[in-house]
Amino acid sequence: MSAGAGTGLDTAFFVAWLEETAGEIARNRERLTELDAAIGDADHGTNLDRGFTEVLRALQESPPDSPAQALMTAGSTLIRRVGGASGPLYGSALRQIGKALADPVTPAGFAEAFGTGVMAVERLGKAAEGDKTMIDALGPAARALSEAVRDAVETPEALARAAAAAAEGARATVPMTARKGRASYLGERSVGHEDPGAASSALIMGALAAVAARREGA
């Protein structure tokens, strides 16, 4: 029996999430780069697009046999292939989620593992909510997912709530003053711009919800 059998959270699901994410990043590459141009290095979209293209190549060359392996392969690839802060941060998150997943994957197990991935980003980036970083999207997403699972909400709806929380969190970074990363050097001039890391985090969570919804309707 494959990992996640009976819950829908099997290896194919996580591979589909990574594929959907790669597509979303590619479609939004210019927007992410424009957001980064305002308060960063103007390379966030380009770097992530290249990184997730490499993730797809790695998954094709060595097809994973478990959700954990899929996420750990993706994480290791991002760490190796993506410049700037986003590669190590997203890569560490995916690796930590993979390490924390039990076999088979349950909704509660995924929610817990996802939370550990977010904590890995917090530790590595030394960031907290309110600092105008990807944590402002990932933190609310983790809480929404945990709450939905605790309330026995069906997995597609639980992931949709997590994605909505991430999108709302990303939008909430617009009036914030950046306190971490390159954007922090701008001080008050960072106000009025959406954080690119939060924006890409919302895209990644949206991809997760989209895959769950599509599989539910299949």
Domains annotated on the chain, with CATH: 11-217 (1.25.40.340)
3-state secondary structure at position 216: helix
Report DSSP state, residue 152: T
Residue 210 clears pLDDT 90, i.e. is over it: yes
169, 17, 127, 174: CA torsion to nearest 10: -30
Rounded Cα distance, 191 and 173, in Å: 8
Mean pLDDT of the chain: 91
Cα angle: 165, vertex 148, 151; to 5 degrees: 155
Q: Which of 58, 17, 69 is nearest to 205 (CA)?
A: 17
Residue with token string 């605790």: 150
Burial 116-130, CB ≥16 within 10 A → b, else e: ebbbbbbeebebebe
Residues 6+ apart with CB under 8 A from 116: 96, 97, 100
3-state secondary structure at position 195: coil
The predicted pLDDT at position 187 comes to: 59
Residue 186 clears pLDDT 80, i.e. is over it: no
**pLDDT, tens digit, 9 for 90 and up, residues 11-62:** 999 999 999 999 999 999 999 999 988 877 889 999 999 999 999 999 999 9
Rounded Cα distance, 23 and 19, in Å: 6
